[in-house]
Amino acid sequence: MSRENRRMILILLAITVCLVFVPLFALKGAEFGGSDDAGSVMVEEIGGAYEPWFTPVLETMLDGELPGEIESLLFCIQTGIGVGVLAFLMGRMVERKKWEDKETIKRN
């Protein structure tokens, strides 16, 4: 690995560490709520009583709310599936370009 590459990697690692740890110390006492909670609070402030149109399917099946850990797990699985699909499609496009370039070279 060249010296420039090593330097770039160290700089990027330092930036990553700063992005992860600086907010932990800079935002002491901050509360991080979900957008669903914030939305329902705003609706109540603006228009009165908020009543959901329906209950989530899993909550209906389980007769109660899902634990936070399960919600996080489902969200992570959904994210992983989405990233997998995007990575597959991007890889497919790159490989298609390579194959097209090879075919062009063979024809000429």
Contact 13, 23 (CB under 8 A): no
Asked if residue 51 and residue 25 are part of one domain, the reply reads no
pTM: 0.47
Q: How many Cα neighbours within 13 Å face the side chain of 12?
A: 6
d(CA 42, CA 62): 28
Name the domain count of the chain.
2
Asked if residue 42 and residue 6 are part of one domain, the reply reads no
Asked if residue 50 and residue 89 are part of one domain, the reply reads yes
Query: First and final CA of the chain: distance in angstroms?
Result: 36
List per-residue pLDDT tens for the chain, 108 residues long: 688 889 999 999 999 999 988 877 777 777 766 776 777 778 778 876 767 788 778 788 878 787 878 888 889 999 999 999 999 999 999 999 888 888 888 887
69: number of Cβ within 10 Å: 8
Contact 58, 66 (CB under 8 A): yes
Domain around 10: 1-31
Contact 29, 37 (CB under 8 A): no
Asked if residue 58 and residue 27 are part of one domain, the reply reads no
